[in-house]
């Protein structure tokens, strides 16, 4: 069974649709979402609706939490703040209700799913440096832990207590009893200097993880954001992948 794991869709329905089409062509039958469904992009309700109807598991992201006004946006940069205020006004009752009921973490398929970090999920720690990643291994049981939040795909394997290695290439498998930390990257706003949408597929029985990058119509999203008078920085960054 192939599971598609998406994160940081950020209201980019065009990118999401391209990812879903690609996933289906690979035989993905289940989807899991790691949060930040909204914020930054122009189609929050459409993205929430897709996640609500298609994801078996969904966890809460920090932008989702601000969008439903459960957390302040003081720590956001001015562009993110402008977008989240617009999002707050745009969200439907149904979208708000769905986001309000999301958990911070979920366990399934011998794996842990969390938006930012398995260490204190509600503090939204950024796992950017190797040290941050290695610390995460203390907070989940053998198997995989899937995260998003940084918008940069990367995986670290930890076969035992004394060793680890960064995954190179676009796929890997891990043995039963081993641990793997997998950042799936971002569907709607990648920041690793690659503008293509990022997601992973996961085969739980074989413990195989594959990274994918998918081209989508960035200009279409940019045009829509421009018409909505979003900050230029927010739509220009999509084509830069940062």
* Binding residues vs Zn ion (CB under 5 A): 8, 36
Question: Closest approach of Cβ 7 to Zn ion, in Å?
Answer: 7
**Would you say 143 or 241 has its CB closer to Zn ion?**
241
Contact in structure between 2 and 27 (CB atoms under 8 Å): yes
Q: In angstroms, what is the minimal distance from the CB of 185 to Zn ion?
A: 10
Nearer to Zn ion, 147 or 157 (CB): 147
Burial class for 68, CB neighbours closer than 10 Å (0-12, 13-18, 19+): buried
Of 183 and 201, the one with the shorter C-beta distance to Zn ion is 183
Measured from the CB atom, the residue of 152 and 209 that comes closer to Zn ion is 152
Q: Which is nearer to Zn ion, 45 or 157 (CB)?
A: 45
Tell me the helix, strand and coil percentages in the chain, rounded to 5.
35, 25, 40
Instruction: With CA atoms as reference, report the closest residue to 45 among 13, 20, 16, 7.
Output: 13
H-type alpha helices, the chain: 13-26, 44-54, 62-67, 78-90, 93-100, 130-136, 218-227, 232-240
* Range 92-113 burial, b when 16+ CB lie within 10 A, else e: eeebbebbeebebbbeebebbb
Smallest gap from residue 24 Cβ to Zn ion (A): 24
* β 163-166/208-214 pair status: unpaired
Minimal distance in Å, beta carbon 96 to Zn ion?
Answer: 19
> Using CA atoms, how far apart are residues 167 and 165, in angstroms rounded to an integer?
6
Residue 183 CB, nearest distance to Zn ion (Å)? 11
Closer Cβ to Zn ion, 187 or 207, answer by number: 187
Minimum gap (Å) between residue 160 Cβ and Zn ion: 32
Q: Which residue number, 36 or 192, has a Cβ lying nearer to Zn ion? A: 36
In whole angstroms, the minimum distance from the beta carbon of 59 to Zn ion comes to 13
3-state class of 206 per DSSP? coil
- CA pair distance 232, 242, nearest whole angstrom: 14
């Amino acid at each position: 069974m192939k599971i598609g794991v998406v994160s940081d869709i950020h209201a980019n329905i065009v990118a999401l649709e391209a990812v879903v089409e690609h996933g289906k062509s690979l035989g993905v039958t289940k989807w899991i979402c790691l949060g930040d469904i909204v914020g930054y992009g122009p189609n929050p309700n459409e993205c929430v609706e897709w996640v609500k109807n298609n994801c078996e598991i969904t966890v809460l992201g920090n932008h989702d939490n601000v969008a439903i006004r459960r957390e302040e946006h003081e720590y956001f940069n001015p562009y993110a703040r402008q977008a989240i205020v617009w999002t707050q006004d745009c969200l439907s009752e149904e979208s708000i209700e769905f986001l309000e009921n999301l958990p911070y973490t979920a366990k399934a398929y011998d794996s842990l799913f969390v938006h930012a970090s398995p260490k204190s999920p509600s503090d939204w720690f950024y796992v950017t440096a190797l040290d941050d990643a290695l610390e995460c291994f203390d907070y989940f049981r053998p198997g995989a832990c899937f995260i998003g939040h940084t918008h940069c795909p990367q995986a670290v394997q930890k076969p035992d207590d004394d060793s680890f290695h960064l995954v190179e290439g676009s796929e890997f498998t891990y043995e039963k009893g081993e641990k793997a930390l997998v950042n799936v990257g971002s569907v709607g706003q990648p920041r690793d200097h690659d503008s293509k949408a990022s997601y992973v597929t996961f085969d739980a029985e074989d413990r195989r993880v594959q990274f994918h990058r998918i081209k989508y119509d960035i200009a279409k999203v940019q045009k829509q954001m421009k018409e909505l008078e979003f900050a230029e920085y927010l739509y220009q960054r999509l084509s830069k992948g940062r």
